Amino acid sequence: MISAPKGMIFRKEAIEKYAQGRDKNVLPQFVLPPVFVFLWCLLALFISAGVTAWLGQVPVYTAGVGVVLDPSSSGGTANGEMTAVIFIPYSPSLHLQVGQPVTIHIGQTGPQINTAIGAVDSQILSPSQVHKQFALSITDPSVAATVVVGSNLSLYSGSLVQAQIEVGSHRLLSLFPGLGAFVKDT
């Protein structure tokens, strides 16, 4: 205990209280506890969004146009299903394979059909070859892919189709501006 000298103007209790306050370690409180918890939750949210963007995959599609084939010609299948030939603009990086998913839109207002590639022609066709053989006007050299459209639809041979073929995927992170160059695609 501290004893107060005789000429002291402070009370003894005040000096003791002051001495006790100096002995305690008091850290400054810059952030209130609710704000501190909110900031940790925000950090966890950013980390989980970053992991999702790194691991997330987005499918990549290529578009093509085509025509429904006559079932009595060589394009028809044995069980009477209608087939369509789709012309995809050629690119050296394009790797079409049997079994890749295809979404087909028949005509402007027709149904949407999900199917898969049945056959891929390895030959690159010029626009004039496609026009002579299928009476379809395209502008780029193309690769032909045959797909089964189905038999329960009311289709006519020669109907125009538009197709989207899933040809790969990108990481979700590659869609952010500036980061696409650093992320490898699959």
Long-range (24+ apart) CB contacts under 8 A made by 55-60 are: 55/171, 56/171, 56/172, 56/173, 57/169, 57/170, 57/171, 57/172, 57/186, 58/169, 58/170, 58/171, 58/172, 58/175, 59/166, 59/168, 59/169, 60/166, 60/167, 60/168, 60/169, 60/170, 60/185
| 2: enclosing H helix or E strand | none
pLDDT in tens, 61-90: 899 999 888 776 654 555 667 888 999 998
Mean pLDDT of all residues in 162-176: 84
Q: What gap in Å lies between CA 71 and CA 126, rounded to an integer? A: 25
The whole-model pTM stands at 0.65
Identify whether the C-beta of residue 101 lies closer than 8 Å to the C-beta of residue 125. no
What per-residue confidence (pLDDT) applies to 184? 61
Q: Would you kindly state where each structural domain of the chain is located, as residue ranges? A: 58-173
Residue of higher predicted confidence among 163 and 80:
163
Range 49-78 burial, b when 16+ CB lie within 10 A, else e: eeeebeeeeeeeeeebbbbbbebeeebbee
What per-residue confidence (pLDDT) applies to 121? 87
CATH no. of 58-173: 2.40.30.170
Residue of higher predicted confidence among 31 and 54:
54
